[in-house]
Structure 1
Amino acid sequence: MSKPPVALPASTLLNRLLARTRLRQLQVLVRAAELGSIQRAAHEVGLSQAAATKAVGELERLVEVRLLERHARGVRPTAVGHDLLPLLRGMLGALHGCAEALGAHSQRGGELLRIGAITGAVTALLTRALPSFADRHQGVHVELTEATPEVLYAGFADGRLDALLVRRPAIAAVGSRFEPLYDDRALVCCGPDHPLARRREVRLPQLLNEEWLLPPLGSLMREAFERLFEPFGRAPARTRLTTRSLPLVLLSLRDRRVLAMAPASNVDRFVEAGLLHALPVDSLHALPPVGMLLPEMGAKGAALNLLETLLRQRAE
């Protein structure tokens, strides 16, 4: 009877990975798992299929565990490989960040400014402010990440983002401060051809009879939606689609008889352009203000100071 494999200590695996792993091996592994094919992964990273197969095999022998399962139509990650994928993506993403920083500093006087922002801050403020900032400060390279607050806070906490444009947090993280830029409010929106768009007054009971496109559970606008209808003891009908994607919300409201609740900062521009209609609904709650989450005083660079000043001017 064969003996079961001996589990390797994490310290041993770490030393092996540091000494013998090549970044190309990790890249091939991630892309093969994502594409379901070593051949396609090899083509994407510029290797032959044989070289890509060898790279994955060397990595598997190094850690003494199978990371990809081969089958008739390609490959899929094993349970271990599946668990490793988010970590490996993070490592490769950090390497991209290093390249961006080096590229910015290789320019004369170059500085990399990594900004994270929620969708409302992008549409309401950054689309107007960042192009002019780039024109005025050509030695600064701005890298903008648009994501959910949870993703942005994680990036700020581990240093991948220099500053955030988010709503006021309940508690600011240690080593950070929040500077408000503008107030925001909730809107009930529909397409311009929706029957309610012709009403001068819309009461809450009327909205109970409409179908709604909702954001995910736990999101700010989902909580606002639930508070709005809580006094009635029931909620309106909802679509079978749940999303916080702004393009998808815009298209759904345009093409279907549905309603959606959205921050004014997300949709004001589309209302002004006639692509959406904001219903005249009372009892809508104010939202936490949007502002900049910054490192504590003295912990930021000149470029971040310049951007904060410009955003304050544009938000007034």
Structure 2
Amino acid sequence: MTKVAMIVSANAEPFGIGVLAEVWGEQYHPDDGNPVFDFVACTPEPGIVSGSSGFGFVITHGLEAVADADLVALAAKRDYRTEDPRVSQALREAHDRGATIVASCTASFQLGHAGLLDGRRCTTHWRYGAELAETFPEAIVDTDVLYVEDGPIVTGAGSAAGIDANLHLMRQWYGARVAATTARRIVVPPHRDGGQAQFVRAPMPVVEAETLAPVLDWAEEHLAEPLTVAALARRAHMSERTFARRFRDETGTTPWQWLLGRRVAMAEELLETTDLPIEQIAQRVGFGNAATLRHHFGAVRGTSPQAYRRSFSCVESA
């Protein structure tokens, strides 16, 4: 029987605990044939462990439960910047003896404190990616994905992406049928398309300067047209070189990247709020055809327009 030790620290995030308990801790599997795991929750100081949402958890096992675990699962905690040396030591010992370790969301910081992210690809919630990279400069942080497996270390992105990371591990160890059956039991898809990029809202910065604001307002109203830098420069009454320099100074990006961002954002809105065909959306936002829309949308959002619509459409089916 596979032993799974879940480490719960003070100020633990309830959702993260729930994810791990649902995937690995469920003891009742009527008729599905899935394995039952030896699931143990442990903590540095057994007893009542505080949670981040106003209630606590009774954890009766100490960190000695990690010593023979096949999988060590870290529950995220609110004060993720604070290291508990006891947890770090338990993680290093587990790693040294060959255990697999999984952590999602802010729990990735605990792996960093233990020195287990150095030279490894990893992820965390998109809100914390820059901080993780700054705090642990030897880590290779990728916040465009839902989870990363690098050797015996598996990291998941924020919140529900912990389910993706743990189902991935289950798929690796026990096969697609077991993972799919588990996913069906907890009423989630066994595999999700794309990465975190599709969930990140990244509005373009507001242009405060008066010189380009009228041109950008006009461009947003004419995205369907074949806009070029030359055309925008003429509208601003500038040379192309001056326009490009002024554009970067005032927006922090290039005209082409700005147009690309606005077109993708408009495509997102149409995918969410209309049932227009993909080809028609591509024409409305200035990509010309569905193939070009798919190319740029995939590069920016890490998923296809069709998959994005399935996930985020608010249009009721007839």
TM-score interval for Structure 1 and Structure 2 normalised by the shorter chain: under 0.3
State the structure with more CA Rg: 1
Higher share in strand? 1
Which one has more relative contact order, counting CA pairs under 8 Å at least 6 apart? Answer: 1
